[in-house]
A and B are shown apart, each in its own frame.
Chain A
Amino acid sequence: MQIDVKAIFESFVSGLTYLPKTLILILVPLSIGLVVGTSIALVRIYKVPVLSQFFAVFIPVYQGVPIVVALMVYNLIYLMKTNDVLKFFGSSKTIADIDSIYVGLFALSLMMICSISEVMRGALLSINKGQYEASYSVGMTKPQTLRKIILPQVISIAIPALINTTVGLIKSTSIVYAIGIAEILSGALVPSSRKYTFFEGYLAAAIIYWILTILIELLYSYLEKRTSIFKTGKTENKKLWSLKCWRSNTSEKALAEMKS
């Protein structure tokens, strides 16, 4: 097989022009995941009735579905039912007004909500009870304790695992290509579909994802340094805990840290 270097370059450039789309596919699910996922973690930690039981079942079940299967199902429902739903709500809009990127955002956001809620729950659990008791004893309320004492520690503890979740997310964004959303991979394949240089297109896409992952890791390690002032003495727990994560969470960073 002959590899056309020029075609790799063309695909690389073409793929990069779709970077904004991929960034949307990363940032929106990440933000939603952080907010909703943390809330769910709190619901489960504080054992809010009904909701905490619901999530205790829903999250492990949903995490059993591969993202590609979930995506295919949502896309099918989106194709078949969007207009009915819009009509039901009395909207004059049609499916043409609703880009299929929303299907990708929905699938990825749900995935992120689940994995971040697990990360946050683990981080919350790893905080010593004494921290709560100490805060209450100086007269802080529950929300105050949470905001001023617990969450800062949790975020610092959770960062290695969050890196991994994000890296997993970056890679998962490539799967939305299967339902025809224009992002890096499909962008890299645009020149390929004119010149039949698909292998070069895949290669170019791989390089872009690789760079993106490395950049995200650098960004996080910067953040980690910034937040390290909150670190508690319980680093041993944190190190061990960060290992206990989902595949995408098997963190190089967390592991590197264990050396120190």
Chain B
Amino acid sequence: MKKINKRIQKTLIMIFALGLASATLFTGCAQKTSADDGKEQVRKVIVGTGNGYEPYCYLDDNGNLAGYEYEVLKEVDKLLPQYEFEYQTSDFTNVLISLDAGKIDIAAHQYEYNDERNEKYLFGTEPYTTYVTYLVVPSDNEDIKSLDDLAGKTIYTGGKGSNSTYIVEAYNEEHPDNKINIENAESLTSEEFVQGLLSGKWDAAIATRRDAEKHNKAYGSDAIKIVGDPIQTSSTNYLFSKDDTQLQQDVDGAIKQLKENGKLAEISIAQLGGDYTENE
């Protein structure tokens, strides 16, 4: 019994070692190709983005990444020969963890500025989309105009890591006896979004004007509307790791160029149906 166990063990260890070796080989190969490209070292930059936020980042009919984020970054990549972009998609919330973990270099998922994000990550300084969020309610609702009207009610704020969640969490902390229930879910379809509001599942949601219009269009009627003053007027930037200032500056420069030559506005019109690059 001992003998056979040893023999089995030996074989197993060998197989396992082989498996490990092939895995290392695989990664080794990947390293080599990226180092051999051109005279000047081309740095491989991994872009993290989502796969469920149409029209910004989603998978097209063939399952390939498509949308505004991808189109803009493709142009940025063209302007920066010293970098080579690769794309990795995941759930919205997990994109930022990937940045923490150093799995990606750029997080691109319509990130708005907030202090906590700024403390942890490096924001690009050249915004590439305006992002003005409003309360969204069913069209026949006349009671809800601001967050103050939502005490004890329920609001849908997108994924866990969204800026809207952050804002309402902060609101709840400031108004401990006026708390709003937050509901999160990743990448809802237009169907679910509109129906969630119409059915009264949520009393309100937070979205941009263009997202609300998108949902109405998909739903086929003006079922929902935006109300009141903007929850937040901001614009979106890429996020980088804290120490990656070189990449940040280069990408900022490229975005600036794309703004000046009108390319960014062009992409915005093509992908988002309007120029949302400077102001709304």
Residues on A facing B (Cβ under 8 Å)? 1-2, 76, 79-80, 82-83, 94-96, 100, 178-180, 186, 189-190, 192-196, 198-199
Q: With A96-B203, A193-B169, A195-B116 given, can you name 18 additional A-B contacts, CB distance below 8 Å?
A: A1-B101, A1-B102, A76-B192, A79-B199, A80-B192, A95-B199, A96-B199, A178-B185, A180-B184, A186-B160, A186-B184, A194-B169, A194-B170, A196-B96, A196-B117, A198-B97, A198-B100, A199-B100
CA distance A141 to B185 in the complex (A): 54
Residues on B facing A (Cβ under 8 Å)? 93-94, 96-97, 100-102, 116-117, 120-121, 154, 160-162, 165-166, 169-170, 183-186, 191-192, 195-196, 199-201, 203
CA distance A199 to B102 in the complex (A): 13
CA distance A3 to B44 in the complex (A): 26
Chain B residues whose C-beta falls within 8 Å of the C-beta of A94 in the assembled complex: 199-200
Contact A95 B200 (CB under 8 A): yes
Contact B101 A199 (CB under 8 A): yes
The 6 tightest CB contacts between A and B, nearest first, are A96-B200, A180-B185, A95-B199, A1-B101, A94-B200, A193-B160
CA distance A79 to B188 in the complex (A): 11
Chain A residues whose C-beta falls within 8 Å of the C-beta of B101 in the assembled complex: 1, 199
- Among B184, B186, B196, B201, max chain A CB count under 10 A is at B201
Instruction: Report the minimum CB–CB distance from A198 to chain B (whole Å).
Output: 5
Contact B96 A198 (CB under 8 A): yes
Contact B160 A192 (CB under 8 A): yes
Contact B97 A199 (CB under 8 A): yes
CA distance A2 to B242 in the complex (A): 12
CA distance A173 to B159 in the complex (A): 19
Chain B residues whose C-beta falls within 8 Å of the C-beta of A100 in the assembled complex: 183, 201
Given contacts A83-B199, A95-B200, A196-B161, contact A178 B186 (CB under 8 A): yes
Chain A residues whose C-beta falls within 8 Å of the C-beta of B170 in the assembled complex: 194
Chain A residues whose C-beta falls within 8 Å of the C-beta of B201 in the assembled complex: 79, 82, 95-96, 100
- Among A80, A180, A192, max chain B CB count under 10 A is at A180
Instruction: Report the minimum CB–CB distance from A163 to chain B (whole Å).
Output: 30
Chain A residues whose C-beta falls within 8 Å of the C-beta of B185 in the assembled complex: 178-180
Chain B residues whose C-beta falls within 8 Å of the C-beta of A193 in the assembled complex: 93, 160-162, 165-166, 169, 184
What are 23 residue pairs bridging A and B, where the CB atoms are less than 8 Å apart in the complex?
A1-B101, A2-B100, A76-B192, A80-B192, A80-B199, A83-B200, A94-B199, A94-B200, A95-B199, A95-B200, A96-B199, A96-B201, A179-B185, A180-B183, A189-B160, A192-B160, A193-B160, A193-B162, A194-B116, A194-B166, A196-B100, A198-B97, A198-B160
Instruction: Report the minimum CB–CB distance from B90 to chain A (whole Å).
Output: 12
Chain A residues whose C-beta falls within 8 Å of the C-beta of B121 in the assembled complex: 196
Identity of the chain B residue whose Cβ is nearest the Cβ of A191 in the assembled complex:
B169
- Among A76, A82, A178, A194, max chain B CB count under 10 A is at A194
CA distance A79 to B97 in the complex (A): 30
Chain B residues whose C-beta falls within 8 Å of the C-beta of A178 in the assembled complex: 185-186
CA distance A83 to B186 in the complex (A): 23
Contact B100 A1 (CB under 8 A): yes
Instruction: Report the minimum CB–CB distance from B132 to chain A (whole Å).
Output: 21
Chain A residues whose C-beta falls within 8 Å of the C-beta of B154 in the assembled complex: 96
CA distance A80 to B161 in the complex (A): 26
Instruction: Report the minimum CB–CB distance from A102 to chain B (whole Å).
Output: 12
Chain B residues whose C-beta falls within 8 Å of the C-beta of A189 in the assembled complex: 93, 160
Identity of the chain B residue whose Cβ is nearest the Cβ of A195 in the assembled complex:
B116
Instruction: Report the minimum CB–CB distance from A111 to chain B (whole Å).
Output: 21
Identity of the chain B residue whose Cβ is nearest the Cβ of A84 in the assembled complex:
B199
Chain A residues whose C-beta falls within 8 Å of the C-beta of B192 in the assembled complex: 76, 79-80
Instruction: Report the minimum CB–CB distance from B25 to chain A (whole Å).
Output: 26
CA distance A178 to B117 in the complex (A): 24
Chain A residues whose C-beta falls within 8 Å of the C-beta of B116 in the assembled complex: 194-196
- Among A2, A80, A179, max chain B CB count under 10 A is at A80
8 Å CB contact of B93 from A1, A79, A190, A198: A198
CA distance A195 to B170 in the complex (A): 11
Chain A residues whose C-beta falls within 8 Å of the C-beta of B93 in the assembled complex: 189, 193, 198
Identity of the chain A residue whose Cβ is nearest the Cβ of B181 in the assembled complex:
A182
Identity of the chain B residue whose Cβ is nearest the Cβ of A190 in the assembled complex:
B169
Identity of the chain B residue whose Cβ is nearest the Cβ of A2 in the assembled complex:
B100
Identity of the chain A residue whose Cβ is nearest the Cβ of B196 in the assembled complex:
A79
Instruction: Report the minimum CB–CB distance from B106 to chain A (whole Å).
Output: 16
Contact B100 A82 (CB under 8 A): no
Identity of the chain A residue whose Cβ is nearest the Cβ of B153 in the assembled complex:
A96
Instruction: Report the minimum CB–CB distance from A7 to chain B (whole Å).
Output: 11
CA distance A189 to B166 in the complex (A): 12
Instruction: Report the minimum CB–CB distance from B52 to chain A (whole Å).
Output: 12
Instruction: Report the minimum CB–CB distance from B69 to chain A (whole Å).
Output: 20
Instruction: Report the minimum CB–CB distance from A9 to chain B (whole Å).
Output: 18
CA distance A189 to B93 in the complex (A): 10
CA distance A196 to B98 in the complex (A): 11
